Structure 1
């Protein structure tokens, strides 16, 4: 699938838009969600939403109320949605607003991956989805295939693991100190767990921060997670 060859966000978006429009849908969005232990989840989205609708489309408050987004947050099975999906959930005003921009019906799905990663893909159009169940099944199958391939490309493009020679200098103790810091332990608790003094525990964390180029321990943990050093 061509999206696998994308080398940038622009190429990625171009390929999923092209595929989506071939299926008869006007708009598409792809979102990578990265769960962090010591911080809020990180959302990375590419889409071809109309400019006039983009602010509302990317609103986290709307996402928390949107029944389609809530379905994708909890499940991996695709959801085929229309106005009734919103009205039965008491969110008809969300549908009314998005319908003005062509978001009247669509299909969305999510992949929930290891290490706190999630990937969501949704396509929309200004008319109902095809009524023919065979045609609809074919579209859903094509979108599932696109989602799998797009997720792999998005992981490579959105959250690349940059080589960092300093990583090789992290000692086992520094990694252990970071790992327990990730679990919310204080320097005193880390020291007790590792059988070292509180001062030495602080030193290990500070050394890891310096080697990772971070200004505090929370940033160091997040970077170590991103680079695959902590799981």
Structure 2
């Protein structure tokens, strides 16, 4: 590691203490990893088999990924066939996505996931397996149209990823204690998590669809989300609902 790279890495780590949210951490990361050609960053805890779509979404900690690709990825259950996830779960070594070619050759579904990712400007990527203080397996990825990462850069990126993910998880835990939902808002989200429509939720709660929408909008605002699915995922992540 050259002195210039070392100094920039130390500066990044020090600046992380000033980040007030995972979103700010993500912005700082993007500014740092752009030197490698990266345009996107994604990191999160690897969910276990059989987890719901909402739980999968809520496992994401740092998210600057193409939105259309994320929607397709989670709605099609790609997380359970993604070769990058498989590699994170089986080896502690970081890897370029191009190094997954042997897996993709033997698994057409894995090849499909990676090929479709390329259609969303995720043509080249680099992934780092990590372990949280709680012992959970996590993955950290950067991607773009073209990356330039040397063997030396891998160590730098692993250091950046470790501190960024740790800081983001801490910030999420701090946010958890500040969000409160009313009993009606929690009930609305709980029924939504079970796949009920607004009409069905209204029938169970004894209120109109307009009343359901009112509770849902209020919950979304408190959780800082824009969609019903994201609100449910965030409420599950914060353990406000089951």
Q: Give me the TM-score of the superposition, normalised by structure 1.
A: 0.58
Counterpart of 2:62 in structure 1 is: 46
Counterpart of 1:142 in structure 2 is: 156
Deviation at 1:32, TM superposition (A): 3.4
2:84 aligned to 68, 80, 84, which one?
A: 68
Partner Cα separation in structure 2 for residue 156 and residue 11 of structure 1? 13
Contiguous gaps of at least 5 residues in structure 1: 165-221, 224-231
Counterpart of 1:8 in structure 2 is: 21
Between the two proteins, the alignment pairs up a number of residues equal to 158
1:73-222 counterparts in 2 under 5 A?
73-82=89-98, 84=101, 87-90=104-107, 91-127=110-146, 129-130=147-148, 136-160=150-174
Deviation at 1:62, TM superposition (A): 0.6
Partner Cα separation in structure 1 for residue 89 and residue 75 of structure 2? 16
2:44 aligned to 31, 40, 43, which one?
A: 31
Deviation at 1:86, TM superposition (A): 5.4
Partner Cα separation in structure 2 for residue 119 and residue 3 of structure 1? 19
CA shift in 2, pair 1:58/1:14, >3 Å: farther
CA shift in 2, pair 1:163/1:27, >3 Å: closer
Q: Is the 8 A contact 1:49 1:57 kept in 2?
A: no
Partner Cα separation in structure 1 for residue 83 and residue 90 of structure 2? 11
Q: Which has the higher contact order (CA 8 A, sep 6+)?
A: 2
Aligned residue for 1:5, secondary structure, equals coil
Contiguous gaps of at least 5 residues in structure 2: 1-12, 179-237
Structure with greater helix percent: 2
CA shift in 2, pair 1:69/1:26, >3 Å: same
Q: Give me the TM-score of the superposition, normalised by structure 2.
A: 0.56
Partner Cα separation in structure 2 for residue 34 and residue 64 of structure 1? 9
Partner Cα separation in structure 2 for residue 93 and residue 33 of structure 1? 20
Counterpart of 2:213 in structure 1 is: none
Partner Cα separation in structure 2 for residue 57 and residue 3 of structure 1? 29
Partner Cα separation in structure 2 for residue 95 and residue 163 of structure 1? 38
